[in-house]
Amino acid sequence: MRQSQYPFSTRKEAPKDETSQNAQLLIRAGFIDKLMAGVYTFLPLGLRVLRKIEAIIREEMEAVGGQEILMPALQPKSNWEATERWEKLDSLFRFTSYYTHNEYALGPTHEEVVTPLVAKLNLSYKDLPFALFQIQNKFRDEPRAKSGILRGREFVMKDLYSFHATEEDLDRYYEEVKKAYHRIFKRIGIGAQTHLTFASGGTFSQYSHEFQTIAGEGEDTIFLCAKCDVAVNKEISGEIPKCPVCNTEHLEIHKAIEVGNIFKLKTKYSHPFSLTYQDNKGDKQEVTMGCYGIGPSRLVGTVVEAFHDEKGMQWPQSVAPYTIHLLRIGEGDALNKYAEEVYNGLSEKGIEVLYDDRALGAGEKFADADLIGIPWRAVISEKTIEKKEIELKARNEKEPTFCSQEKIISHINK
């Protein structure tokens, strides 16, 4: 993309009403725009990151047999009354139709839709297990929305729901999803910072598991066993606990961001919606369920919290909006022609290039490149043309290297 055509330019000043690093940097760099507290627009650069994160999640959900659906965000009150969550869930956005006076909820999660959906199927034991997922906007009336896109009132969630004949089968699948989650966070580039964490389980199981990323603006506190790579959320233990795996008492305290949460729901929702299957003797049994959430929009903010310096963001290759930021420094027919040639050449080879073709000074272009944080910066100037080379620098390194136009791709793939 030609940067001269990007309408959302960068800003030097951080917005005054944002205190979190992720919101300050993403807004300054033209990745997101704030509509009101907890509600943001994803601009083209930010949306590219979000889509890459979603694509990784989608691939891994399909790898564990998840089938994608898209459920409505607008939901009838009756479904929320069936689970007694209409009154109890403080964060539920509720409203009344002006015309019909019917009451509705905006979905904060989708057990109240997916369970009655599956209950329509008249399942036999032969139909189980299976799993359905979606990637969709959720709505929560969050009392504190101060952490930028880490805590939105409208945000993107991937939610997977699994359906089983037995608890043993749920246990087996739950472990498979756990592994898929580890793969997701590794592919996004935050594998080293993200830890499986024992958290409160709700009504029917002893624990749920969270995936907590140790990074700047975390709202949660975890006790980490560095040896076993598991943690315990402070919410289930005021005292410093022992490691649930090796029993050591030497746990590290960290601030962390919850990026995912997996639950064994068992029959908590199948029961109120009469979700049953016929077993091999012809008897009715309740279906056993699991649910597995990840926050793709929260992950965009988490990656920023994990990877930035005083100059700006530092995107991991796998989720970066572009791979190379090509900067043309200076003006002139020969220079412009050469830069166009490099831009077109790389684009034709399938490399995603953000081409800074704006009539701006070097200082401003370098500052913008550092702020936007694309993994590779390639500079073309009169000086580099003379040497028949391009100056190439990784965002997280200090010194550039010089290489020919032909060598760029092999260099960045090293």
Residues that bind ligand ATP (CB under 6 A): 109, 140, 142, 151-152, 155, 157, 258-261, 293-295, 297-298
> Which among Mg ion, ligand ATP, none contacts residue 142 (Cβ within 5 to 8 A by kind)?
ligand ATP
CA distances 341 to 249, 326, 393, 408, Å, are: 61, 12, 20, 13
- In this structure, what DSSP letter does residue 154 have? E
Least CB distance from residue 145 to ligand ATP, whole Å?
7
The H-or-E segment that residue 51 falls in is: helix 44-63
- 241 vs 295, beta carbon nearer Mg ion: 295
Considering the complex, what minimum distance in angstroms separates the CB of residue 260 from ligand ATP? Answer: 5
Shorter beta-carbon distance to Mg ion: residue 258 or 391:
258
Q: Which does 295 bind (CB under 5 to 8 A by kind): Mg ion, ligand ATP, none?
A: ligand ATP
State whether residue 1 is helix, strand or coil: coil
- Number of residues this chain uses to bind Mg ion (CB under 5 A): 1
Q: Which is nearer to ligand ATP, 187 or 395 (CB)?
A: 187
Report in angstroms how near the CB of residue 290 gets to ligand ATP at its nearest.
13
| Two structure tokens written together for 130 | 């299976």
Site string for Mg ion, 205-244 (x = CB under 5 A): ----------------------------------------
- Closer residue to ligand ATP in complex, CB, 44/202: 202
CB-nearer residue toward ligand ATP: 230 or 259: 259
* Residues 6 or more apart whose Cβ sits within 8 Å of residue 253: 221, 222, 223, 224, 240
Selection from 327, 271, 320, 283 nearest residue 300 by Cα: 320
* Footprint on residues 258-277 left by Mg ion (CB under 5 A): 258
Q: Which residue is nearest to ligand ATP (CB)?
A: 295
Compare residues 258 and 356 and give the one whose CB is closer to Mg ion: 258
- Break the chain down into helix, strand, coil percent, rounded to 5: 35, 30, 35
Q: How near is the Cβ of 13 to Mg ion at its closest, in Å? A: 34
Asked whether 219 and 145 are in contact (CB, 8 A), the reply is no
Quick one: what does residue 298 bind among ligand ATP, Mg ion, none, with the CB cut-off 5 to 8 Å set by partner type? ligand ATP
Minimum distance, C-beta of residue 288 to Mg ion, in the bound complex (Å): 22
Minimum CB separation from Mg ion for residue 211, in Å?
A: 10
The residues pairing with 79 across neighbouring beta strands, listed in sequence order, are none
Q: Are residues 140 and 108 in contact, defined by beta-carbon separation less than 8 angstroms? A: yes
132 residue type, one letter: L
DSSP assignments along 283-350, one per residue: -EEEPEEEEEEE-HHHHHHHHHHHSEETTEE---GGG-S-SEEEEE-S--HHHHHHHHHHHHHHHHTT
CB of 257 to ligand ATP, least distance (A): 8
Which is closer to ligand ATP, CB of 124 or CB of 137?
137
Binding site for Mg ion (CB under 5 A): 258
